[in-house]
Amino acid sequence: MRRWVTAVRLTLGYLATLLAAAARRPFRAPARPSWSIGDEARATFLRRFLHRLHAMPVEAARPELDSVPVLVPGALLRTRRRRGALSGVPVTWVTPRAGAEPRLVLYVHGGGFTLGSSRTVRDLLSRLALASNARVLSVDYRLAPEHPWPAGLEDVRAVWTAALAEQGPSQIVLAGDSAGGNLVLSLLLELRDRREALPAGAVLLSPWVDLACTAASFQANADVDVLERDALLREASRYAGGGDPGQPSLSPLRADLAGLPPLYLQAGEAELFRDDVMAFVARARAAGVSATLDVFDDQVHDFQAFGALSRISVEAIARVGEAVQVFAPVPKMAARG
């Protein structure tokens, strides 16, 4: 019951923000010239919502975040979801109702290492499954501050190992957003160092690649992005558990990137992480890694999660689906079957 009450309150809050943006528009230019009223309302609402979440204890913020409603649930209705566990780690399977090709996307959600779950990104997972024509396996790893590094990484690795028992690595693509993107890269670097099997590729949506948060875009986009640098630094400290958040094992931007599988990355031009993502791609390419980057004009952090409310979000997930299918093409025998 509490979840439904929270969902209704958040929906009404978003609609009020949308109406306020429409009322102000004749008198005030939007924060970004190309923003529609909807773009401005989403950014304003999310900025306020995340600011309130970060002011809460994590035990109160987590159910609040999970209660955010999906206003256009078309993708949810076209997929099946099943909760379960692999190697003792809670997971959620998402599969298109029309069936999927024999590939798997192992997804790691964001949330600053302290918040978020498979439920938080349920719409994104459904749209990803449909766009990539694949099964999606989402990992609910342990969160900080109760479980600092490397607990979350250990959980992601455990699920990866379990997934390999039934699916070859050439048919698995790792994917993650924000802090989840960080965990994906940390897993890839660990697998490479141990000379273990690597996935067919990885998709990184606005990944948090440097927990030190020192890039110029943290100042340039401070007034428009939905994230705040101070809150990010607090989350990084909680995740590091007293260690240095800038060390290469926690900040992949600072690691040796040679030997990674093909990567596809997305970032918003108006987000705090923009410069770090661009620097990461440059370093990966210099190390001989195939890395493709799409930067979407005027988009804020994790815009891919806006769903059917945003044309750009729909386009971004369509590109992700294409990348997944390029990384893990259907074997000819499976295609004939």
Mind listing the pLDDT tens digit for each residue in 122-138?
Answer: 999 999 999 999 999 99
Measured in whole angstroms, the distance separating CA 159 from the mean position of its chain's CA atoms is: 17
| Mean pLDDT of the region 61-82 | 94
| 178 catalytic residue (yes or no) | yes
Mean pLDDT score across all residues of the chain: 90
Cβ–Cβ < 8 Å for 20, 48: no
**What's the burial of 336, exposed, middle or buried (CB within 10 Å: 0-12/13-18/19+)?**
exposed
How would residue 9 be classed by pLDDT, with cut points 50, 70 and 90?
low
| Beta-bridge partner residues of 296 | 268
Closest CA to 331 of 127, 167, 93: 167
pLDDT for position 39? 77
Distance CA 223, CA 205 (A): 21
CA distance 252 to 181: 10
- Reported confidence tier of residue 331, pLDDT bands at 50, 70, 90: confident
What count of other Cβ atoms lies within 10 Å of the Cβ of residue 72? 11
Instruction: Give the angle subtended at the CA of 189 by the CAs of 187 and 190, to the nearest 5°.
Output: 65
pLDDT at 15 exceeding the cut of 50 = no
Question: Which residue, 202, 90, 95, is CA-closest to 156?
Answer: 90
The residue among 43, 46, 75, 77 whose CA lies nearest residue 314 is 75
Question: Cβ distance 264 to 202 under 8 Å?
Answer: yes
From CA 119, how far away is CA 240, in angstroms rounded?
A: 25
Cα 11 to the center of its chain, rounded Å? 22
CA angle 29, 31, 37 (to 5 degrees): 70
In angstroms, the CA 90 to CA 159 distance is: 9
User: What are the helix (H) ranges across 94-213?
Assistant: 122-132, 151-164, 179-193
Beta strands in 55-179 (DSSP E): 79-86, 89-96, 104-108, 135-139, 172-177
275-311 per-position pLDDT tens digit? 999 999 999 999 999 999 999 999 999 999 998 888 9
Cβ count within 10 A of residue 194 = 8
**Catalytic (active site) residue 147:** no
CA distance 316 to 331: 26
109 is catalytic: no
Catalytic one of 126, 132, 186, 301: 301
pLDDT at 156: 98
Q: Looking at residue 173, what is its pLDDT?
A: 98
Q: Which domains does the chain have, with CATH numbers?
A: 2-65 (no CATH), 70-330 (3.40.50.1820)
Question: Residue 37: pLDDT above 80?
Answer: no
Q: Identify the CA nearest to 134 among candidates 330, 319, 333, 303.
A: 330
Beta strands in the chain (DSSP E): 79-86, 89-96, 104-108, 135-139, 172-177, 201-205, 263-268, 291-296
- Terminal C-alpha separation, the chain: 46
Give the C-alpha separation, 210 to 295, whole Å.
18
The number of helix segments (H) and strand segments (E) in the chain equals 12, 8
Phi-psi region for residue 209, left (φ > 0), alpha (ψ -120 to 50) or beta?
Answer: alpha
pLDDT(92) > 60: yes
Structure confidence by residue, pLDDT tens digits, 202-212:
999 999 999 99
In 140-272, DSSP assigns E strands to 172-177, 201-205, 263-268
Question: 67, 117, 178, 186: which one is catalytic?
Answer: 178
